Amino acid sequence: MLLRSGLLRPVRVWKNLGLCSRITVGAQTRHKSTDASEDEVKHFRELAPTWWDTNGSQRILHKMNLARLDFVQRTIRNQVKIQDPEIFVPAFNYKEFLPEYVCDNIQREIQESIESSLDERPGMSVLDVGCGGGILSESLARLKWVKSVQGIDLTHECIMVAKEHSKKDPMLERKLSYECKALEDVTGQFNIITCMEMLEHVDVPSEILRHCWTRLSPDNGVLFLSTINRDLISWFTTIYMGENVLKVVPKGTHHLSKYINSKEIIAWFNDNYSGQFRLLDLKGTMYLPLRGWVEHDCSDVGNYFMAIQRLE
């Protein structure tokens, strides 16, 4: 039972799908398919005041930020094709054959070429869905090749904390904006959409994915997801150890039945957008006490990062 639910959770009753897609899950009736449940909003409302305490209730989210920003930057950089004929891009595993200093020079020149290519392009627009207090939103807004970041969240207090914190850095004022609104009320399309540690908190994650997709630029827009597989190791690490033993995650944050398998998301995209997307990267990630969040290749277990590119 607990391992059953997945993307299309057992929504007990769908009403008035035509005019205002009202969903009734249990006793709660909501008017939007991407609405947040009252208990989730209540949970995060209580965490809002300490959101930016890097040793407080969100300390694990702050630590995760380093890893997911690496994932985002690496994925975007890997999409840049080196055009400069002066740049030597080996077509073999040069690190096995060339001296370390030569390898370092090759790597540095490639990275510099990628960075200048990104700088020459028009800046990227970003939508951060379920931005919370803005931990990821601020980091993305500070990237040179990002033109704008719009953070949305349905916990009003989180948005207020995000707005207040962003005022501490004047550079953010022209690139970063926040709104307390549902995803389906967001207009426009974006080069990048991030939906980090949020899918496992919504009642119908497929609706979030669908509304992300329609707001993703058809010109190679990239959707970044991070969420948690529905398996016993996830329960052991994120709930039993995270919330009950180590108490590094606020109690009641997660519910195993709301977790989503990476395979379910890929299957959903194949069912709904076959041939229109490319899975750019999928990595498992795990928190280790003395090392922080580390990536691994077992993306069917525990937490994972996923990057999906829209091709048309």
Ligand X SMILES: CC(C)=CCC/C(C)=C/CC/C(C)=C/CC/C(C)=C/CC/C(C)=C/CC/C(C)=C/Cc1cc(C(=O)O)cc(O)c1O
CB 128 within 8 A of CB 208: no
Contact pick of 23, 48, 61, 158 for ligand X (by CB under 6 A): 61
Judge whether 196 is annotated as a binding position.
yes
Does residue 222 contact residue 71 with C-beta atoms inside 8 Å?
no
Binding of ligand SAM by 135 (CB under 6 A): yes
Among the residues of 167-239, which ranges form H helices? 205-214, 232-234
Q: What distance in Å separates the CA atoms of residue 282 and residue 63, rounded to the nearest whole number?
A: 20
Q: Are the C-beta atoms of 220 and 309 separated by less than 8 Å?
A: yes
How, if at all, do strands 222-228 and 192-196 pair?
parallel
Stretch that binds ligand X, among 4-12, 53-61, 148-156, 258-266 (CB under 6 A): 53-61
Measured CA to CA, the distance from residue 281 to residue 226 in angstroms comes to: 12
Amino acid identity for residue 188 in this structure: G
Which of 166, 190, 197, 228 binds ligand SAM (CB under 6 A)? It is: 197
| Coil/strand/helix, residue 267 | helix
Q: In what helix (H) or strand (E) does residue 44 lie, and over which residues does it extend? A: helix 38-47
Cα separation of 312 and 297, whole Å? 28
The reply to whether 250 sits near ligand X by the rule CB under 6 A is yes
Least distance from ligand X to the Cβ atom of residue 56, Å: 9
Ligand-binding site membership of 211 (annotated): no
Q: Taking CB within 5 to 8 Å according to partner kind, which of Mg ion, ligand X, ligand SAM, none is near residue 161?
A: none
3-state helix, strand, coil in the chain (%, to 5): 40, 20, 40
Site for ligand X in 195-214 (CB under 6 A): 197
In this chain, which stretch among 2-10, 18-26, 127-135, 271-279 interacts with ligand SAM, using CB under 6 A? Answer: 127-135
**Residue 99 interface partner, choices ligand X, ligand SAM, Mg ion, none, CB cut-off 5-8 Å depending on type:** none
Rule CB under 6 A: say whether 138 interacts with ligand SAM: no
Asked if 213 contacts 178 with a C-beta cutoff of 8 angstroms, the reply is: no
Show the tokens assigned to 60: 């694990």
Residues 151, 268, 302, 304: which binds ligand X (CB under 6 A)? 302
Min dist CB 226 to ligand X, Å, is 8
Q: Between 185 and 224, how does the x/- string for binding to Mg ion read (CB under 5 A)?
A: ------------x--x------------------------
In angstroms, give the least distance from the CB of 253 to ligand SAM. 7
Is residue 137 part of the contact set for ligand X (CB under 6 A)? no
φ/ψ of 149, rounded to 5, equals -130, 125
Residue ranges of the annotated binding site for Mg(2+) are 197, 200-201
Residue ranges of the annotated binding site for S-adenosyl-L-methionine are 68, 130, 153, 196
Q: What is the contact surface with ligand SAM in residues (CB under 6 A)?
A: 34-36, 40-41, 44, 61, 130-132, 135-136, 153-155, 158, 182-183, 196-198, 201-202
